Structure 1
Amino acid sequence: MSIFLEKGSQTAMEEDRMIVQKPLSELIAEELRQRIWNKQVQFGERLLETELAEMFDVSRSTIREALKILEQEQLVISKARKGTYVTEFTDEDLAEIIELRTLMEAHAFQDALPELGREHFAKLSEILDEMKTAAGKGKWGDLFDLDMKLHGYIVNQSGNSRIIRIYESIQVQIRAYLVHLDQYYSSPHSFYAEHRELVDALKTKDPQKVNRSVRDHISYVEEKLLQTKQKQ
């Protein structure tokens, strides 16, 4: 059975509404990205140009452009004479992503502290409310998207343009490894509660407490992920 929706499916593209906003190749890349993040397409799975072209009713050249976008994000890999596959992140890949994320966010969150005012905390509260709703419905995919939204929002308040650009460049990879984390939380509510505690730490405006909270938040579950993978 094909992993892709049939032509004309509303969830596949909603082309009539979206085509004016982005090139078709970007829309297809976005759809495939979401399918990987939602586990509809598995890590290591082969992506066939002919199947994708038929599914989306576009040329193979458009599909190649879409796959090139995902390849630049390191979400897929092209193997000579073998085809294109969804990237399987190694233990080393995950360790590097965790280390980089920890270093960048710990620094950016502390830089953001003097800039965070009432309106910023109001926005963070809105995101937390969305997370609480998603947790109540058990929607892990939405929770992981909101995780990226919350962390990215704080990083953007740091004022460090280089950190912001680098962080944006690795967000796709960060979101990809979040896919694995649902099995390490006792419930969606515990995932939400951890983010609420992170925002509470920010409200104290204590740099040391924020630094400790960020590092604990990022490292704990991710380290469990690596330890589990190493035992497999």
Structure 2
Amino acid sequence: MFNLTKNTYKFFLASILTGGLFIAGCGEDTIAPQGDNIEFSYVQSGDTVDNSGILLLDTVKILLKDIKLNVANSSDSSNSKVGPFVLYLDLNQVGGTNFIGSNLIPVGTYDKLNFEVHKLGDTETPPDPEFLDANGRYSVVVKGSYNGVRFIYKSDKSAKQKLTFPNSLVVTETSTNVTLRILPYLWFVNAATNEYMDPTDPANDGEIENNIKDNIKANFKAFKDADKNGQPD
């Protein structure tokens, strides 16, 4: 049994890559409707600082863990250790949202989506072999090119994130869609110059790592998106 505190409901992404189902639990004082009433989608952004093509990202893989959906105006939270799961972004894909999964959760009002960008622990089995190599274990794997030179950038940073919906998410018996928008290009922007950093230059590792750890919240946004056009309703 999942250990959930009162007025907090936690769902888990069973499989990001294959569009697995959420698993929902409920605390006291809840009424569970019949049939799936929540869908979850994501959309990646190819927005760049300029149009010169200096930095081009092809794919991004992110390990997520401990995904929580909080009831509005509640500070309660559960701490079950769940995951990690792989979120896969294809930056060459144009338009449209990508379906992740659906589930049944209690009717109510929700205001936050919490999760952790997670570096693999020493005893964890990687859900994707690219998150483990002879040099270590990772939380983020980025593939692309800088000035035409191919690169693979791997980060070992972990970061807990809390996304507040721009408007409270009201879940009823009918289906509601939530879209997660990700802008990974900003991880590689130098804050002082507003220009892209070379991911192959070790001198840039510190700032890129800190961008992933500290600024990742600015690159994740969660919102209600009933028509699934990748824009907040």
TM over 0.5: no
TM-score w.r.t. the length of structure 1 is 0.24
Tell me which of the two structures has the higher relative contact order, counting C-alpha pairs closer than 8 angstroms and 6 or more residues apart: 2
- Higher strand fraction (1 or 2): 2
TM-score w.r.t. the length of structure 2 is 0.24
- Higher helix fraction (1 or 2): 1
Q: Please identify the structure whose Cα radius of gyration is greater.
A: 1
